[in-house]
Amino acid sequence: MKNQFSEQHLKGIRKNQKTVLFYIWRDRWLYLMVLPVLVYYIVFKYVPMYGLVIAFKNYNVFKGIHASEWVGLDNFAKVFSNMHFWKAIRNTILLNISTLFVNFPLTVMVSLLINEVRSLRFKRVTQSLLYLPHFISWVVVSGIAVKLFSHNNGSINNMLNFLGFDSIPFLSSYGWWVFTYVTCNVWKELGWGTIIYLAQLTNIDETLYEAAYIDGATKMQRIIYITIPMIKSVAVVMLILSISKMMSIGLDAPLLLGNTKVMEVSEVLSTYIYRLGIIRAQYSLSTVIGLFQSVVNIIILFIADRFSKLIGEEGII
Amino acid sequence: MLLKKRAAKINEFTFGSLLNYMVLAILVIICVYPFLNVVAYSLSSNRAVLSGKITIFPIEPTLNAYREIIGKKQIWLSMQVTIIVTLMGTLIGLILTICAAYALSRKKLKGRGWITGIILFTMYFSGGIIPTFLVVKSLNMYDKLTSLFIPSAVNVFNFIVMRSFFRELPESLEEAAYLDGASDVKILVKVFLPLSVPIVATIGLFYAVGYWNDYFSALLYIQTPEKYTLQLRLRSLLFTEELNQFGGSLEGLGNTVMAESLKMTCIVVGTLPIILVYPWLQKYFVKGIMLGSIKG
């Protein structure tokens, strides 16, 4: 009796072991398909995460990451006591908030406008042309922008002069540079941003509008009471998502649009890391900034996710 | 019948909708005007460029700037580099993304939650620019073309879009093929891929545009001017005085003016390929983006 039990037990174990191997063998092709991608992520994303330890070391190119000596928080102290670092943070947030402030309401408004268009052909052409700038590189956008906004012989200033106004220093005064930066960003991404709202709007049941119409609702009322509530939750999630990206900023736009005259407002975290790390080869110090940025980002993201769930929307993680 | 009438009345043409059309038309003009302006500049004569009166029509049209560009080896060399990087990057990106997304969309695969988690985590936390730079350097990729497409081979967003798409295809497709004795690879290639043309086109477009427009990787990893990508070359032409060397015999004012229309011609040459493929592919990507917005 006892014997029989243990035999059964053993069989059970054997069967279980077999199943794990069995699954791996059965799905060997699927595992093989994932393998290269997994290797890619480990080499190019997880190894650099290990590389973050140089933030706590005095990195020496010849000694390598492992052999460089530990310096504790010295690098952090150096970075945090540097005025340029705080300026870069201020500029990053300033540029992000200004862009969001203009871009967000405009995107929602333009989505509503496009949604109201009844002529399918007009709608399609409008959408295609509005999405186009998203596909143009920042180098080209900045090249065009510099030509349009430049102080001498720029098209916009030429037009202003023609109308009898003075030239505006779009690229060389702090305030106007921020204006130019925001304009270029909005120009490039406004149309693309409407896609997500329009996707949501196509889900609205037409009969809702018909019912509202029969009940005597005006067009404006139909937009306010049917359309807007339908996109409210997408809008809230998009807003929270953009706020949670406050500390990250692309390098292209500030670097390409910026010039020595407006460094005071155009130097953001990414350009600062680039200049400090790549051009001046201060690997440890710039890694400190990158680490700081990543950590702050992930904290904001968690807070934003909590907040999003708190107000009854879907989480964003 | 009655309903149709009502629907027609809802959609009737009012002053409000006229305003709507006008606002959108103005937005479209703002979007397109800079392009047309650039093209007009590139086709205009020196004198016209200097006058600053060019809008969307070339004044005293000439192909001089284009002739000059054709003679510039640097541009075509960079164009070659960019074409190689774009083709390789898109191909590798598509293959890797399709394979991983397909495998991780199969419910039967054990451990797929963990593997997906490993991939998605990189969206929220990363080593940053410098540690990645050091890895690329230590892999001996610095100043090689591989540094432009290997370190950025797979994009998490594209992976999510692809995986959502595969997940939504009916499972019965797979089962039927299994019963016929097909392997996973065969099922992917023969059954799933033919159904995925729109999404593959979308993801391919995203990768291709990304590589074509990529300027940061080249800025970081490329040192030799012969290996400059088109964007890096454009940048050095547009934002420094390198063009003055281009100008040749022209001196002073004449030189900068020539540079202006040459710059615009560079922009046209660098952007044209995107504008040319855009109409063919844009019908696919709206769907792709919608799928991407459904969270993974």
Q: What is the pLDDT of residue B212?
A: 93
Average pLDDT across chain B, whole number: 82
Residues A168, A273, single domain; the answer is yes
Average pLDDT across chain A, whole number: 86
For chain B, helix, strand, coil in percent to 5 are 80, 0, 20
Residues A35, A113, single domain; the answer is no
Q: Cβ atoms within 10 A of the Cβ of B107, count?
A: 8
Residue A34 at interface with chain B, using a CB cutoff of 8 Å:
yes
- Is A137 in contact with B37 (Cβ distance < 8 A)? no
Domain span including residue A12: 2-50
pLDDT in tens, A192-217: 889 888 888 877 777 888 888 888 88
Which chain A residues have a beta carbon less than 8 Å from that of B213?
A: 135-139
Q: What is the pLDDT of residue B242?
A: 39
- Which residue, B124, B278, B148, is CA-closest to B219? B148
Residue of B17, B219, B234 lying closest to A140 (CB–CB): B234
In A206-249, the DSSP E strands lie at: none
Residues A85, A45, single domain; the answer is no
Residues A177, A40, single domain; the answer is no
- Is A142 in contact with B238 (Cβ distance < 8 A)? yes
pLDDT bracket for residue B290 (50, 70, 90): low
Q: Can you give the CATH number for the domain in which A103 is found?
A: 1.10.3720.10
pLDDT in tens, B49-80: 777 777 788 877 888 888 888 888 888 899 99
For chain A, helix, strand, coil in percent to 5 are 80, 0, 20
- Is B231 in contact with A301 (Cβ distance < 8 A)? no
Q: Can you give the CATH number for the domain in which B178 is found?
A: 1.10.3720.10
Residue of B38, B134, B184 lying closest to A30 (CB–CB): B184
pLDDT in tens, B117-155: 999 999 888 888 999 999 999 999 999 999 999 999 999
pLDDT in tens, B251-288: 344 444 456 778 888 889 888 888 888 877 777 766 66
pLDDT in tens, A100-125: 999 999 999 999 999 888 888 888 88
Q: What is the pLDDT of residue B175?
A: 82
pLDDT in tens, B71-120: 888 888 999 999 999 999 999 999 999 999 999 998 888 888 999 999 99
Residue A105 at interface with chain B, using a CB cutoff of 8 Å:
no
Q: What is the pLDDT of residue A59?
A: 86
Whether A127 contacts B289, CB under 8 Å = no
pLDDT in tens, A301-312: 889 888 888 887
How many domains, chain B?
A: 1
Question: Residue A187: which residues within 8 A CB-CB, separation 6 or more?
Answer: A133, A141, B30, B31, B34
- Which residue, A246, A139, A181, is CA-closest to B219? A139
**Helices H / strands E in chain B, number of each:** 16, 0
CA distance A4 to chain B (A): 32
**Over residues B30-41, mean pLDDT:** 89
Most trustworthy range by pLDDT among A257-266, A267-276, B282-291: A267-276
How many A/B residue pairs have CB atoms within 8 Å? 259
3 state SS of B117: helix
Which chain B residues have a beta carbon less than 8 Å from that of A256?
A: 235, 239
Domain-embedded: residue A156: yes
Residues A113, A163, single domain; the answer is yes
Residue type, B129: I
Domain-embedded: residue A55: no
Whether A115 contacts A122, CB under 8 Å = no
Domain-embedded: residue B9: no
Domain span including residue B148: 73-226
Residue type, A184: C
- Is B24 in contact with A129 (Cβ distance < 8 A)? no
Q: Is pLDDT at A187 greater than 90 in this prediction? A: yes
Q: What is the pLDDT of residue B145?
A: 92
Residue of A27, A65, A144 lying closest to B108 (CB–CB): A27
